[in-house]
């Protein structure tokens, strides 16, 4: 008989898995993108080396900022690691904190992490940091209603917006996935993920062009360990969004049905494998389409919003 892990240990493994695997997922995506562009690219483990280098450096802060500037990266990281406690990362059964919040609550926590980083950027007085913070909050006002509609449409299909219950409904039958309303909602969520992870539509996720950067601009004035936390938190947010897509909406299989060590270990490997598949698809999409102009972001996000609205109408018209 396999040795069973204590339930609190399984609970702790969910954010720990996200924390450890997130830089590696980013490294694989960066390597694949480089290969698609005909370049050698960085090492897959390069994000880990970058984090180690930043943690060893000195931290500097602009004149005039208060303690919130330094606290923001820590708060943001805490937000990004709270969401894995609420969604099925490794198990099919609900963990102690698994029913303390729904997908909507998890979305609010992710938004809070983004908000505190933007507030810290605004404190610096730096033009690029303030520009990135202003842009991120402007476009967040468009993307957040999309997330609300996605959750609303899927909740209508399944009768609940609890992540574990949603995953159980999808897992109960493959026919659940091919429902028109569900597919439209999942498509809208995927478009939001492309925007939230900086893949489409402006510049690149690692770009430093002041005319297009958003995510990179907000951390312009941070350095040392605090910059490392921001970059690590960004990778964690990316993996959390991938996990939400694959373990709740599209492929909630391969999760552990018990606390046995073997089952949990297999669930970790399966999660990383599925995340790499999503990351590969994102890399191909990112390299296959030209970047849009900044003012075209609203068109891109509006398409996601339209998909979520159509999902709701499709449900009422018998496509759910």
In tens, the pLDDT along 192-222 reads 888 777 776 554 555 545 555 666 667 777 7
CB 89 within 8 A of CB 11: no
- Which has the minimum average pLDDT: 6-10, 51-55, 277-281, 293-297? 293-297
| 64-78 pLDDT tens trace | 777 888 888 899 999
SS3 4: strand
Q: What is the pLDDT of residues 43-57, one digit of tens each?
A: 899 999 999 999 998
- For the stretch 100-134, pLDDT in tens is 777 777 778 888 888 888 888 777 776 777 777 77
pTM: 0.88
* pLDDT above 70: residue 30: yes
pLDDT at position 157 is 65
Flag whether pLDDT at 15 surpasses 80. Answer: yes
Q: Describe the chain by its helix, strand, coil percentages, rounded to 5.
A: 70, 0, 30
Q: Report the Cα 181 to chain-centroid distance in Å.
A: 22
Which tokens hold the place of 35? 């290969």
Residue 307 sits at φ, ψ, to 5 deg, of -60, -45
Answer whether 83's CB lies under 8 Å from 242's CB.
no
So what's the pLDDT on residue 299? Answer: 76
- What pLDDT is attached to residue 274? 94
- Which residue spans within 13-93 are E strands per DSSP? none
Residues 6+ apart with CB under 8 A from 215: 132, 136, 198, 205, 234
Structural contact between residues 48 and 24, judged by C-beta atoms closer than 8 angstroms: yes
DSSP codes joined into one string, 264-313: HHHHHHHHHHHHHHHHHHHHHHHHHSPPPPGGGHHHHHHHHHHHHHHHHH
Token pair listed for 42: 């960085």
DSSP-assigned states of every residue in 76-118: HHHHHHHGGGTS-SSBSSPPTTTTS--HHHHHHHHHHHHHHHH
3-state secondary structure of 256: strand
Residue 59 pLDDT greater than 80, yes or no: yes
pLDDT digits over 229-271, tens only?
Answer: 989 998 999 999 999 889 888 888 888 888 889 899 999 999 9
C-beta separation of 222 from 215 below 8 A: no
d(C-alpha 297, C-alpha 136), whole Å:
11
- Looking at per-residue pLDDT, the higher value among 53 and 161 belongs to 53
């Amino acid at each position: 008989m396999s040795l069973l892990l204590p339930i609190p240990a399984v609970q702790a493994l969910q954010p720990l898995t996200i924390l450890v695997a997130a830089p590696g997922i980013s490294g694989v995506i960066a390597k694949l993108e480089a290969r698609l562009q005909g370049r050698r690219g960085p090492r897959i483990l390069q994000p880990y080396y970058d984090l180690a280098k930043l943690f060893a450096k000195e931290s500097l802060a602009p004149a005039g900022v208060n303690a919130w500037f330094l606290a923001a990266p820590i708060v943001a990281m805490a937000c990004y690691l709270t969401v894995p406690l609420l969604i099925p990362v490794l198990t099919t059964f609900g963990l102690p904190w698994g029913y303390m919040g729904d997908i909507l609550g998890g979305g609010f926590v992710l938004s809070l992490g983004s908000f505190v980083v933007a507030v810290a950027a605004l404190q610096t007085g730096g033009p690029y940091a303030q520009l990135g913070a202003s842009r991120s909050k402007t476009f967040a006002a468009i993307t957040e209603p999309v997330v609300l509609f996605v959750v609303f449409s899927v909740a209508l299909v399944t009768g609940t917006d609890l992540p574990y219950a949603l995953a159980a409904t999808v897992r109960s039958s493959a026919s659940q996935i091919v429902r028109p309303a569900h597919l439209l909602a999942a498509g809208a969520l995927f478009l939001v993920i492309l925007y939230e992870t900086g893949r489409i539509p402006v510049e690149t996720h690692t770009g430093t062009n002041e005319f297009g950067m958003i995510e990179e601009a907000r951390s312009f004035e941070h350095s040392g360990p605090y910059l490392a936390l921001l970059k690590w938190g960004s990778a964690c947010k990316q993996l959390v969004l991938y996990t939400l897509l694959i373990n709740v909406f599209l492929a909630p299989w391969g999760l552990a049905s018990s606390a046995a060590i073997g089952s949990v270990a297999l669930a970790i490997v399966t999660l990383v494998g599925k995340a790499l598949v999503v990351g590969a698809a994102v890399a191909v999409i990112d390299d296959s389409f030209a970047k849009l102009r900044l003012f075209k972001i609203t068109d891109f996000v509006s398409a996601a919003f339209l998909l979520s609205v159509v999902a709701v109408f499709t449900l009422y018209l018998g496509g759910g």
